[in-house]
Structures are given as structure tokens and as C-alpha cells.
Amino acid sequence: MSQADADALLLEVSAYLKSEDVALIQAALDFSHNAHQGQLRQSGAPYVTHPIAVARILTPLHLDAQAITAALLHDVAEDTSVSIEQISDKFGKPVADLVDGLSKLDKLKFETKEDAQAENFRKMLMAMARDVRVILIKLADRLHNMRTLDSVSREKSERIAHETMDIYAPIANRLGLNDVFQELEDLSFKYLHPNRYAVLSKALKVARGNRREVVGKILEAIRQRLDENHIKAEVRGREKHLYGIYQKMQAKSLAFSQVLDIYGFRVLVNDVPSCYLALGVLHSLYKPFPGRFKDYIAIPKGNGYQSLHTALFGPFGTPIEVQIRTYEMNKLAESGVASHWLYKSSEAQINELHQKTHQWLQSLLESLSQSGDSVEFLEHLKVDLFPDEVYVFSPKGKIFAMPRGATTVDFAYAVHTDIGNCCVATKVNSELVPLRTELSNGDRVEIITAPHAHPNPAWLGYVVTSKARSEIRHALKTMHLTESAKLGERLLSQAFNLLGLKLNDVDEAGWEKLLKETGAKCRQDIFADIGLGRRLNIVVARQLASLGDTISNDAMGNAVVTIQGTEGMAVQFAKCCRPIPGDPIIGVIKSGQGLVVHTHDCPTLRRGRGGEQWLDVVWDKNITRAFDVSLKLIVANRRGVLAKVASAIAEADSNIENVNFSSEGEYTAIYFTLQVNNRLHLANIMRNLRKISEVIRIIRAKNAA
């Protein structure tokens, strides 16, 4: 053990912890030292130097004895023979739970690195939702690993830096740990772009010397003007962190010499009114940039950050960025959720911050539970970690922080899942807008719902929040299964009719036996599997009727299904031939999709006839919905012909869904997608079109997908 580091740690914790807590940490130091005896880091240093360094990163945040102890033991269960149970026996269950939340899932085997990474994040987030100290220790662990990354291979250092930039730095930012966030970004930048980092570091060092005099003059001018106006304030100059400068250069295509505001200034005052008074004084000293003022005091950021930001024209035209905040706001800005341990005075602010953090974690865990795979989960996580927020209002004036690019549908799901699922229209600033409309700062958003509405799969193309995306996928999946179960029940009932039996006559014992044999949880699962083509209806019918497990294809073909046209996602109408009531039709059960209905003469169906399950289907006599149909018109190139064609279609009481053109010499081909009720309705439309002298030929287009 590095005795100097251990002594320094004990000295640091003695400054704010009781003697019995310090004794616990001393015991953890000895335990960690013995457990890691003989182990070395890749740098060659004794391994125990790492947990001591992690614990020392946490002491400025005044974390309690349990957290410091867990930091010292965080690798013991993972890298030594010591178990979580042993840690629990010696240091208590709270410490053991923290260590367990920090341990990776090394004993499980995953197919890909992404799966392993996702599962480790799942575990960490679940532990973090129970106790936020888990992520504070994890961030300290990652920070020390990043500080000592020189000793690992280039490939590994790049992988760790990518992960840090994508996940850990944004989490630190989301939790309000500003210093940790900036250092993680700078270190990731160093290993991802070493040449750019080296050049930029050198340039910044030179600029630091060149601009010292200008910065000093601005500091003195601000202090003097505030003093003249009797505002007690502390003024500090600060340098932007390296990656922040690089991002600005990238975003605005600037050379380093063009980034003039690498220095900012922070004004700390005693109370909120003084913040706004100081702002007025600074605007009288230097002219403000139009549109560059942000009030995060009235509308705090999602991580609880509060401050006034303004950009000013300084001396010699130098842009100056100034932050104005109270001392309490500054503590929260630098320590985030760790303020709970570090400062005890502003309980109301800290409680609100913890509540926001908890809500964010809960939304992450909801998306985590509904994510289908690891890639989808990591996508949700990354979207949530890079919000770049805009602030919008509900009709009652409640503020919602939404990621930049969020749409009205994202807002609907942010209000409540049921509001999102039933959303049919939206008003932004009292005007009706499309659902895909992106929100801007200050928008007032009203969601219009309908009781029987449901999510549209097209929404997945433009929502950006993980909550909206996961809830839409969950609702669509549930709808698909529900509709497939209804279709499966009809198919099974008709298979029973084929056998001269009735589905309702099957007793509970028969169903129980089938569920046990198939491993299904309930009969709805059986119905859904039949509707999705995963099971043959006639085979299930025979199993239930205890007549054996096989049936001939001839018998299978005798089962006729009635199509009502309103079955939703469980019954799809093929876009290649667009069947409409009155067409002779045939059904194909595709595994995982359900029933796909084609016309008998569909060319795609003839080409693709293979091992699918085929069913005879017929139209219900009382269908009222409209169906899409494709028409191709060859018309003479004359002025006004399109207007005549559109008028004839409208007179036949049909809507035009889509129209395209292609020129063929003296003639033009017009491709329409129309909505019709049935084949008779289509015949009336075609009769109207034939009356137009310019129409040379009308073809109902097949293979028009």
C-alpha cells in the first residue's frame, strides 16, 4: 500500500467524519490491501493504489463512510476471492449492496461486447436508482482509470475513451458534476484525438500568456463597476475546458485564433435579486450580444443547474461570456447530486434536484425494461444523455425540459404515457400543427386526445426521446399481439368447424394440458402464435380434440376465413396487388407477421409461392372501410387534363392518396393511388374517367408497392 496516499485519505475523511467512521475506513483500507496483495496495475503500481485514489476523488464531495468504504472495496469482489457475503458480514449490508452494484457481470457469457456492455449498464442503472452513491463511486472509478490510461494499449484506450465520452461524461453532466464531466471529456478527447489534443493544448498555453493582461483588465473593470453600484460580489476568471473549445471550433468551423472567448467570467452574489442587478450593471458596462442571454434561474436545466448567462462585447471587440449566480447555485452547479453530502443548508433545492434525478432514472429504467435488445437500450441511453434542452410549457404553465429536436409527440409522452398513446392532434401556441413538428424554446403545447386512438408506427420515424420511443414500441407490440390473438382465435374456431366440433366445447382440463405440452403461459399466447403463423390452427385443433398431431394439406385448404377489413395489424393487405372487396382473394400466413391478403392473380404471389401456410379467405358482406387501389392512366398531353381527371374522381366520391407522372412522348402516364369502398365503386370511377376524351387507356396497376 502507498502509505502516503492512505494517510492522506484518512486525513481528508477525518476533517468531516466521526472517529468511528474513520475507523471503518481504516479497516476497509487494511482489508483492501490484504485482498489485493500481490496484484499490480498495468502501470506496474500496486493495485491497491487505484481504490485509494478513487476514494480520494470522493472526499471533496464529503461522501459518507459507507460510500468511501465501498470505493475502497469496489474491485475486491470482482478481482479477488472475496465474496459479497463476506463484505456484508464485515462491513454491513449497505456497503455490500454498493459494491455489488459496482461489480460487472463477468460470470455471464454474452454473444457480443455490446450485449455485455448493455447488461453492465442495466445493472449499474438499477443499482443507481436504489442508491445514487453507486454512480458517484463509478464516476470516480472511471475518472482515475482515465487519468492512468497511458499504460494500456492504443486499441483499449480508444475503446474506453469512446465509452467514457458516450456514457460516463454525459451521466456526470446529467447529475450536475461539472468538474468531473469536464475532466472526463478532456481526457477522452486526449485519447480519441491525441494529435488535435496536443496542438490545442500548446495553443491554449500560448494564448493564456498573451491574453492574461486583457483578462486582468476585464476582471478589474467588472469588480469596480459592481462595487460602484454597491453590489457585493466575487468575480472570477475561468478558462473554457479544452474539449469545449474544440467543440466550438468544430461547430462553427473556426481556427483556434478565431475562438476569442476561451475565457469566461463568473460573478458570485449573495441572493437572487442581486443576480439580476449585477446583470443590469454588466450590460451598462459592456454591450450585450443580441439573443445570447439565457435565464437558467427562472427555468433551471434538467440537472438542477441555475445561473444567468450573457455574452458581451468586451474591450477591443473581444467577446466575453459571463455567468452570474448565487453561492448556493455555484455549489449545486459544481457538485450536483453530491450536494446532499457536501452542503446541508439548501435542503429545498437539493431535494428538488434529487427528485429530478430520480425521475430521470425511472424513465431510463422504464425504457430499459421495454427495450428489445442491447443495441436498442444503448441507443435509448445515449439519446437521453445528450439532451441539449429546449423548454416548453403546458397549457397550465408547467415547464417541461425536452431534448432539442423533440416533437409534439415526445411532449405528449413526457406529460403521461396515456396522453401519448391517445394523442391525435396538437396545438403549439394555439395553432394546430402536424404531430411531427419540432418544439422550440418557449412554445406552449396543447395535446388533443381521443379515447380510442392508438400510436402510429410512423411516429418512430421522428420521436427522439427514449420514453416516447419505448412506449410506442411497447404499445404497438401489445396491439399486434392482441390483434393476432383475435385472428388466431378465429382461425382455430374455423379449424374446429372443419373437424365438426366447436371451440367452446373444449374444457379447462384440455386447455391446461395443451399449455403444459407447449410451454405457453395462457391460451391468449396460443391464439397469438396461430395468428402470427407460428403454429398451425388445424394442428392445435387436433391436439385440443385429442385426435392426433397431423392433418393433410387438402383438409387445411378447406378452412375459410372471413375478412372484415378492420382487423388492424393482424391482417395486412398486400401492397403489391392492393386487394379490394369484390376481388377473389387468398391469404398467406407469414411467421411473425400474421395474415397477408393477396388477389388470386397477384404476380408477386405466383413468383414467391413457397413453404408458407395458405388459406382460402373471403370478404365479409358488410365492409364499410375504404381501401387503397392503384390506377395507371395514359392521357394525351393537353392543358387541363389533370384537373378533368381529378374532378371525375371526386365526382365518383373517391379520395386521391397519391399521384405521380411519367412522360411517354405525346402521352403522359399518370399513376394514382385512390381510396375505394369495393370493386363496384372502382368500376364507377373508371367509367367516369373513360368519358374524358384525353384519357387513352386505364389500367388497374398490379405490383405497385
- 79 catalytic, yes or no? yes
Query: Quick one: what percent of the chain has pLDDT higher than 70?
Result: 81
Element (H, E) at 628: strand 627-636
Looking at residue 547, what is its pLDDT? Answer: 43
Looking at residue 548, what is its pLDDT? Answer: 42
| 75-84, 299-308, 374-383: range with lowest mean pLDDT | 374-383
Three cell numbers, residue 312: 458581451
Summarize pLDDT for 345-357 with one digit per residue, the tens.
445 555 565 566 6
Looking at residue 273, what is its pLDDT? Answer: 93
What interhelical angle do 537-544 and 523-531 show, nearest 10? 150
- Mean pLDDT in residue range 418-442: 89
How far from 658 is each of 7, 558, 646, 655, CA to CA, in Å?
77, 38, 12, 9
- pLDDT range class, residue 682, cuts 50, 70, 90: very high
CA distance 270 to 231: 9
- 446 catalytic, yes or no? no
Domains along the chain with CATH numbers? 3-192 (1.10.3210.10), 204-345 (3.30.460.10), 387-463 (3.10.20.30), 473-618 (no CATH), 627-700 (3.30.70.260)
| 145-159, 420-434, 560-574: range with lowest mean pLDDT | 560-574
CA distance 485 to 491: 10
Cα dihedral 547/552/555/559 (nearest 10): 90
Three cell numbers, residue 260: 476569442
39-47 contact pairs (CB < 8 A, 24+): 39/79, 39/80, 41/148, 41/151, 42/151, 42/152, 43/148, 43/150, 43/151, 44/151, 45/2, 46/1, 46/2, 47/75, 47/79
Q: Kindly tell me if the per-residue pLDDT of 142 is higher than 80.
A: yes
CA distance 380 to 373: 11
- Mean pLDDT in residue range 633-644: 88
What interhelical angle do 49-58 and 19-35 show, nearest 10? 150
Catalytic residue among 7, 78, 234, 512: 78
Better-predicted residue by pLDDT, 365 or 559 = 365
How far from 317 is each of 260, 287, 312, CA to CA, in Å?
10, 10, 9
Does residue 614 contact residue 588 with C-beta atoms inside 8 Å? yes
CA angle 105, 108, 110 (to 5 degrees): 105
Does residue 636 contact residue 667 with C-beta atoms inside 8 Å? yes
Looking at residue 659, what is its pLDDT? Answer: 87
Looking at residue 578, what is its pLDDT? Answer: 87
- pLDDT range class, residue 144, cuts 50, 70, 90: very high
CA distance 554 to 543: 18
| 358-372, 474-488, 563-577: range with lowest mean pLDDT | 358-372
Q: Kindly tell me if the per-residue pLDDT of 108 is higher than 50.
A: no
CA distance 333 to 199: 30
Looking at residue 370, what is its pLDDT? Answer: 54
Element (H, E) at 165: none
- Mean pLDDT in residue range 106-133: 63
Does residue 431 contact residue 489 with C-beta atoms inside 8 Å? no
Q: What are residue 311's DSSP bridge partners? A: 321
Q: Kindly tell me if the per-residue pLDDT of 556 is higher than 50.
A: no
CA distance 627 to 695: 24
Looking at residue 549, what is its pLDDT? Answer: 40
- pLDDT range class, residue 129, cuts 50, 70, 90: low
- Mean pLDDT in residue range 406-426: 91
Looking at residue 529, what is its pLDDT? Answer: 79
Mean of all residue pLDDT scores within the chain? 80
Using left for φ > 0, alpha for ψ between -120 and 50, and beta otherwise, residue 464 falls in: alpha
Q: Kindly tell me if the per-residue pLDDT of 122 is higher than 70.
A: no
Looking at residue 281, what is its pLDDT? Answer: 92
Neighbours of 608 (CB within 10 A): 12
b/e per residue 349-365 (b: at least 16 CB within 10 A): bbeebeebbeebbebbe
CA distance 352 to 339: 12
Better-predicted residue by pLDDT, 236 or 364 = 236
Q: Kindly tell me if the per-residue pLDDT of 25 is higher than 60.
A: yes
Neighbours of 152 (CB within 10 A): 17
Better-predicted residue by pLDDT, 43 or 673 = 673
| 318-327, 373-382, 478-487: range with lowest mean pLDDT | 373-382
Catalytic residue among 79, 379, 389, 446: 79
Better-predicted residue by pLDDT, 489 or 697 = 697
- pLDDT range class, residue 115, cuts 50, 70, 90: low
- pLDDT range class, residue 407, cuts 50, 70, 90: very high
Does residue 235 contact residue 223 with C-beta atoms inside 8 Å? yes
3-state class of 238 per DSSP? strand
| 270-279, 341-350, 509-518, 584-593: range with lowest mean pLDDT | 341-350
DSSP 629-659: EEEEEEEE--TTHHHHHHHHHHHTT-EEEEE
CA distance 37 to 79: 11
Summarize pLDDT for 580-637 with one digit per residue, the tens.
998 988 888 776 566 788 888 887 776 655 555 677 788 888 888 888 899 999 998 8
Looking at residue 551, what is its pLDDT? Answer: 41
84-90 contact pairs (CB < 8 A, 24+): 90/27, 90/31
Pick the closest to residue 456 from 437, 484, 475, 470 (CA basis): 475
